[in-house]
């Protein structure tokens, strides 16, 4: 972990602004959430494809289909993440959904434990705090509605799927460049979502101009400003700082939800949101770099 310089701080601030706007803007979209996820990933793949073909073209030499397995798995996990998390934003509050989906490092830490890796005490303390926070949020939402509680469950499922995406992505990038990995991952994700949209009869086009503008804005904010800029400073500040910065999305999304949507979460839920953020921060500080970064929101 390295102390960010002035340039890095500016880039990080812009990235946090981008990812914080993602969830509030998503709640304004009236088009199906599968369509939003589809076009986000198509846009991400389209932006990175020229980078792969022009700058990283040499990495394609000798590449075989078997080398893409982990990228394909990551894309499928990413599709499952979007299918679970995006609908949760319209079922529970933006603050609760965003806090719960940022528990991804908790699930990746548990996955590494199941693989036989011993976890430091700090991670276990972080897990306890995060679980208590989740319980508080769920307890409040029980009194709100069953729909809100279901939204909490979907956000947690989205976090678990994002954990699979992070772990598969870390393995894929041992062999592939970031552009090659991302193009394959985003393309597979978009294809899986398109298949899902056909199955549930959800349209992927034919929306109002307002929805298209929102989809474009979300793609720019989350995919380009958020993820791209965080990857840009990754080498200079380290994965721990970047993963901790991602947690700033929670208060950022809460503030934008208040301003843009007039959505104020129940006061009793705020201690739960805070405990989740603190718990995940402890897990991040004590985790291995390979289980960090890669924000999926």
DSSP-derived secondary structure for 195-250: HHHHHTT--SS---HHHHHHHHHHIIIIIIIIIIHHHHHHHHH-HHHHHHHHTTHH
Cβ–Cβ contacts within 10 Å for residue 165, how many?
26
**295 pLDDT tier (thresholds 50, 70, 90):** low
Instruction: Identify the pLDDT of residue 172.
Output: 83
- Provide mean pLDDT across the span 218-237: 76
Helical residues (DSSP H) of the chain, grouped into ranges: 6-27, 33-54, 69-88, 94-101, 104-114, 121-144, 146-172, 178-199, 209-218, 229-237, 239-246, 249-256, 270-286
Instruction: Identify the pLDDT of residue 188.
Output: 96
CA distance 63 to 87: 37
Q: Between 146-172 and 178-199, two packed helices, what is the crossing angle to 10 degrees?
A: 140
**118 pLDDT tier (thresholds 50, 70, 90):** confident
Looking at the predicted structure, is the pLDDT value of residue 220 above 70? yes
CA distance 147 to 88: 9
- Provide mean pLDDT across the span 265-271: 85
Instruction: Identify the pLDDT of residue 239.
Output: 63
Task: Choose between 206 and 266: higher pLDDT.
Answer: 206
Task: Choose between 244 and 291: higher pLDDT.
Answer: 244
CA distance 220 to 32: 19
**4 pLDDT tier (thresholds 50, 70, 90):** low
Looking at the predicted structure, is the pLDDT value of residue 291 above 60? no
Q: Specify the residue for token string 């500016």.
A: 10
């Amino acid at each position: 972990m390295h102390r960010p310089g002035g340039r890095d701080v500016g880039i990080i601030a812009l990235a946090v602004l981008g990812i914080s706007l993602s969830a509030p803007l998503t709640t304004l979209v009236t088009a199906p959430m599968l369509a939003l996820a589809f076009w986000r990933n198509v846009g991400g793949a389209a932006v990175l494809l020229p980078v792969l073909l022009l700058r990283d073209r040499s990495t394609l030499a000798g590449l075989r289909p078997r080398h893409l397995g982990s990228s394909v798995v990551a894309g499928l996990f990413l599709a499952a993440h979007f299918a679970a998390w995006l609908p949760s934003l319209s079922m529970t509050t933006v603050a609760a959904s965003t806090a719960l989906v940022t528990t991804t490092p908790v699930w990746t830490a548990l996955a590494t434990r199941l693989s036989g890796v011993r976890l430091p005490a700090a991670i276990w303390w972080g897990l306890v705090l995060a679980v208590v926070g989740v319980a508080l949020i769920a307890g409040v939402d029980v009194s709100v509605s069953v729909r809100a509680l279901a939204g909490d469950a979907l956000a947690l499922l989205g976090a678990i799927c994002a954990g699979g995406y992070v772990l598969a992505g870390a393995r894929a990038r041992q062999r592939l460049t970031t552009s090659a990995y991302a193009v394959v991952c985003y393309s597979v994700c978009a294809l899986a979502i398109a298949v899902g949209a056909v199955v549930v009869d959800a349209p992927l086009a034919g929306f109002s101009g307002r929805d298209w503008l929102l989809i474009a804005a979300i793609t720019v904010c989350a995919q380009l400003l958020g993820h791209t800029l965080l990857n840009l400073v990754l080498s200079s500040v380290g994965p721990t700082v970047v993963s901790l910065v991602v947690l700033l999305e929670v208060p950022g999304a809460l503030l934008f939800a208040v301003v843009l949507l007039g959505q104020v979460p129940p006061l009793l839920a705020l201690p739960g949101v805070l405990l989740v953020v603190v718990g995940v921060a402890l897990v991040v500080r004590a985790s291995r770099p390979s289980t960090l970064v890669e924000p999926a929101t």
